[in-house]
């Protein structure tokens, strides 16, 4: 392939990833702005259970309240942190929401219908998010996990750099204007991480032949590893990834398809870059490794022990 063809392929793939993701980032930042203006710290404290396990489980279901994908969920989570949401609950929401929301449920049903893929995707994603969230709940010092500008009023921790400020709700029209202003600021701030992530994902897609990865899927173990790699590299939005997974369904095992549909929405190249805008680097490393290990182990176990 000559240089012109490579450049054309690169630009097409980059624009495809960016255009698909940027609309959801915009939606997420608008929701984030609305939360900042119309949701108070007391509201967060009132709706969250006091029990850490119950709160983490509640966090896994917040995607049905804020239906955003992996691009839009990052600014929403950061804003909820600034409103006092506990770290473990926020991380659970961050990982679960790209799957645990009505839009993705509808697209997965449209692609696979009612069956093991739809049920498995939701059960595995729910359990994975809760496990990772509970592991982070063992760390009682949020400043070791979250960057200072997102720390603000997290329950159980404080930040001298960003003190919590309790404000009364703004009137509707001025509040909407303020929310859109905040959304614009956050959109450009988080957008740089999206651009970097989309660029890296495009580089990987262009340089790594997908046919070579498909050729490795010759047994229950390799198929899971290949689909986990594809999920990370392709960086497909969770609202449409079920249809891409459907195109692989005849060649790959069901366990590997479920790995693609559970690991990919939680962690891919572009979302990893956006996580770096909110969390410390070590935290992001754990947020990548833990879902990867769980999804791969579950996928391999399903391939070896369950007949679909």
Locate the domains of the chain by residue range. Answer: 3-305
- What the block records as the tokens of 222 is 């390799």
Which single residue is written with the structure tokens 């690169």? 10
Least confident of 10-14, 21-25, 114-118: 21-25
Task: Output the pTM of the full model.
Answer: 0.77
For 115-160, the pLDDT digits (tens) are 899 999 999 999 999 999 999 888 778 778 887 776 654 544 433 3
| DSSP symbol at 160 | T
Question: Which of residues 78 and 130 earns the better pLDDT score?
Answer: 130
Let me know: does 40 contact 82? Beta carbons within 8 Å.
no
Residue 139, judged by CB atoms within 10 A of its CB (0-12, 13-18, 19+), counts as middle
Q: How confident is the model at residue 255 (pLDDT cuts 50, 70, 90)?
A: very high
What are the backbone angles phi and psi of residue 166, rounded to the nearest 5°? -90, 125
For 163-208, the pLDDT digits (tens) are 444 445 566 777 777 778 877 776 776 666 667 766 766 776 676 6
Specify the pLDDT at position 126. Answer: 94
């Amino acid at each position: 392939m000559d240089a012109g063809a490579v450049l054309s392929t690169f630009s097409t793939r980059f624009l495809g990833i960016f255009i698909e993701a940027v609309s959801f980032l915009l939606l997420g930042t608008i929701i984030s702005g609305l939360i900042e203006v119309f949701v108070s710290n007391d509201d967060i404290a009132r709706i969250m259970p006091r029990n850490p396990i119950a709160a983490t489980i509640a966090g896994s279901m917040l995607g049905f309240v804020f239906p955003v994908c992996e691009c839009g969920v990052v600014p929403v989570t950061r804003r909820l942190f600034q409103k006092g949401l506990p770290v473990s609950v926020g991380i659970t929401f961050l990982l679960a929401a790209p799957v645990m929301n009505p839009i993705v449920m509808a697209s997965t049903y449209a692609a696979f219908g009612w069956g093991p893929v739809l049920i498995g995707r939701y059960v595995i994603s729910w359990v994975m998010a809760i496990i990772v969230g509970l592991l982070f709940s063992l760390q009682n010092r949020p400043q070791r996990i979250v960057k200072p500008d997102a720390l603000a009023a997290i329950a159980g921790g404080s930040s001298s750099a960003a003190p919590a400020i309790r404000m009364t709700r703004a009137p509707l029209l001025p509040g909407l204007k303020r929310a859109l202003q905040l959304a614009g600021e956050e959109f450009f701030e988080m957008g740089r991480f999206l651009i970097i992530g989309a660029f890296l994902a495009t580089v990987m897609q262009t340089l790594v032949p997908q046919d070579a990865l498909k050729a490795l899927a010759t047994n229950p173990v390799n198929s899971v590893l290949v689909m986990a790699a594809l999920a990370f590299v392709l960086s497909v939005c969770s609202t449409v990834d079920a249809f891409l997974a459907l195109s692989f369904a005849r060649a790959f095992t069901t366990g590997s398809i479920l790995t693609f549909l559970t690991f990919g929405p939680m962690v891919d190249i572009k979302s990893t870059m956006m996580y770096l805008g909110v969390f410390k680097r070590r935290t992001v490393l754990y947020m990548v490794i833990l879902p990867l290990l769980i999804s791969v182990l579950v996928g391999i176990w399903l391939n070896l022990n369950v007949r679909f």
